[in-house]
């Protein structure tokens, strides 16, 4: 547009809309306040919490998980039965006021064992999820962002970890560290983060060509800062979904190891061990031995998943209503 056109259009608007002088008034002090922010400024996480709180289903899930955590700590104390005490006279009793969840094939109280199992299963799930977040996200982020040769080498290492027979690693760890909860946790954490690394890498490959990453780079941000501040926050959705999948898969992996006799050792029990032990009991009609641990596994997974979905919606500014 030439300068001639501009003056012409100004003249036109002056002719069509003459503004009378009395429309102009000095600005009052109060109007000056209009620029002040009315809504208190909130941090990223506080904002997330405000969004999360609106989601009733997710809040229900969170409440359930908190209750479960409390019960895992105090549950076994609510009953006078011991976790490992066997009572061969009281075998396979149905739920009753004496044994709220019934007894198992060795006369042990299922109520106490369920809460004791909650401790072990939740511990395994949470440690595996932390390993996923710490190792998997950093590894996948670095691999995807660096690209080229680094990415190639790092992904080949992940493929090797995938390809190795996982049972060999577990059995070897059992030999080196001795059987026990710690060994199981180490084995599951050491092999479990690879899915997360691959997912984060896939997302980062896509994200790193966006303008905001190039902008951050041009301002002189280092690799660690770009991954932490630009890439990972934009991958939060898939990361959180993956974490909520890791918890159940770790709990099930432990159950699978129990299936092979490599899980938590008797007399202690995780939910996976309890479910495994009671699979044959269901044919004899002792449904409660399977029902209670399976119910709590399912409820816990359900709670983790709806909390994950709620968090995902709350963390992503695009999904906010």
| Residue 297: closest CA among 260, 262, 258, 261 | 258
Of residues 30-59, those binding another protein (CB under 8 A): 57
CB of 136 to another protein, least distance (A): 12
Q: Which stretch binds another protein (CB under 8 A): 13-21, 25-33, 181-189, 304-312?
A: 304-312
Of 113, 248, 277, 292, which one interacts with another protein (CB under 8 A)? 248
- Which one among 134, 167, 177, 215 touches another protein, defined by CB under 8 A? 167
Q: Which is nearer to another protein, 134 or 260 (CB)?
A: 260
According to CB under 8 A, which one of 255, 264, 269, 307 is a site residue for another protein? Answer: 255
- 243 touches another protein by CB under 8 A: no
Which 91-150 residues touch another protein, going by CB under 8 A? 147-148
The mark string for 281-300 relative to another protein (x by CB under 8 A, - otherwise) is: -xx------x---x--xxxx
Told to check if 264 binds another protein by CB under 8 A, we report no
Q: Is 252 in the site for another protein (CB under 8 A)?
A: yes
Residue given tokens 């996923």 in the structure block: 132
In the complex, the smallest distance separating the C-beta of residue 223 from another protein, rounded to whole angstroms, is: 19
Nearer to another protein, 86 or 190 (CB): 190
- Cβ atoms 93, 84 nearer than 8 A: no
Taking CB under 8 A as the rule, does residue 237 contact another protein? yes
Is there binding between residue 192 and another protein (CB under 8 A)? Answer: no
Asked if 64 interacts with another protein (CB under 8 A), we say no
Rule CB under 8 A: which residues touch another protein?
A: 57, 147-148, 152, 156, 159-160, 162-165, 167-169, 171-172, 175, 194-195, 198-199, 202-203, 205-206, 209, 237-238, 241, 245, 248, 252, 255-256, 259-260, 272, 275-276, 279, 282-283, 290, 294, 297-302, 305-306, 309, 312-313, 316, 318-319, 321
């Amino acid at each position: 547009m030439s300068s001639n056109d501009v003056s012409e259009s100004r003249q036109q608007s002056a002719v069509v809309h003459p503004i009378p002088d009395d429309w102009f008034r000095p600005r009052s002090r109060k109007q000056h306040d209009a620029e002040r922010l009315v809504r208190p400024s909130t941090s990223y996480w506080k904002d997330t919490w405000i969004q999360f709180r609106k989601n009733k289903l997710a809040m229900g899930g969170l409440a359930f998980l908190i209750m479960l955590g409390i019960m895992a700590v105090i549950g076994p104390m609510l009953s006078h039965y011991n976790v490992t005490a066997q009572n061969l006279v009281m075998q396979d009793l149905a739920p009753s006021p004496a044994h709220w969840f019934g007894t198992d094939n060795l006369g042990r109280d299922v109520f106490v064992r369920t809460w004791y199992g909650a401790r072990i299963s939740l511990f395994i799930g949470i440690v595996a999820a932390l390993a996923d977040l710490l190792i998997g996200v950093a590894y996948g982020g670095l691999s995807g962002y660096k690209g080229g040769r680094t990415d190639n080498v790092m992904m080949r290492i992940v493929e090797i970890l995938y390809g190795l027979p996982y049972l060999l690693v577990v059995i070897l760890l059992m030999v080196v560290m001795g059987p026990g909860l710690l060994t199981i946790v180490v084995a599951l954490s050491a092999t479990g983060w690879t899915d997360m690394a691959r997912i984060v890498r896939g997302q980062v490959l896509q994200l790193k060509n966006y303008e905001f990453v190039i902008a951050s780079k041009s301002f002189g941000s280092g690799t660690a800062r770009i991954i932490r501040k630009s890439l990972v926050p934009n991958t939060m959705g898939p990361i959180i979904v993956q974490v909520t999948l890791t918890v159940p898969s770790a709990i099930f992996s432990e159950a699978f190891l129990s299936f092979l006799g490599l899980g938590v050792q008797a007399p202690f029990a995780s939910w996976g061990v309890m479910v495994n032990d009671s699979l044959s009991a269901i044919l004899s009609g002792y449904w409660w031995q399977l029902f209670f641990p399976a119910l709590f596994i399912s409820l816990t997974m359900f709670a983790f998943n709806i909390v994950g979905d709620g968090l995902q919606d709350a963390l992503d500014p695009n999904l906010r209503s």
